[in-house]
Amino acid sequence: MSINILRSSIKIERQIDEFLNQISEAGLIFKSGTEAYLAGDAEGFEAKLADITLKEHRGDELRRTIETALYSKTLIPESRGDVLELLESMDYLLGGFKGALWRIEIESPEIPEPFHAGILELSDNVVKTAEAIVLSARAFFKDLSTITNHMHKVSFWETECDKIVSRLQRDIFRDDSLRLSHKMQLRDYTGGLDKIADKAEDVADKLAIYVIKRSL
> pTM, whole model, 2 decimals?
0.91
**Which residues touch 187 (CB under 8 Å, ≥6 apart)?**
169, 172, 173
Q: How confident is the model at residue 1 (pLDDT cuts 50, 70, 90)?
A: very low
In this model, does residue 6 exceed pLDDT 60?
Answer: no
Instruction: Give the chain's end-to-end CA distance (angstroms, integer).
Output: 14
Neighbours of 76 (CB within 10 A): 17
Specify the CATH number of the domain 2-215. Answer: 1.20.58.220
For 62-100, what is each residue's pLDDT tens digit?
999 998 888 776 555 566 778 888 999 999 999 999 999
CB count, 10 Å around CB of 116? 15
Amino acid (1-letter code) at residue 212: I
Which amino acid is it at 196? I
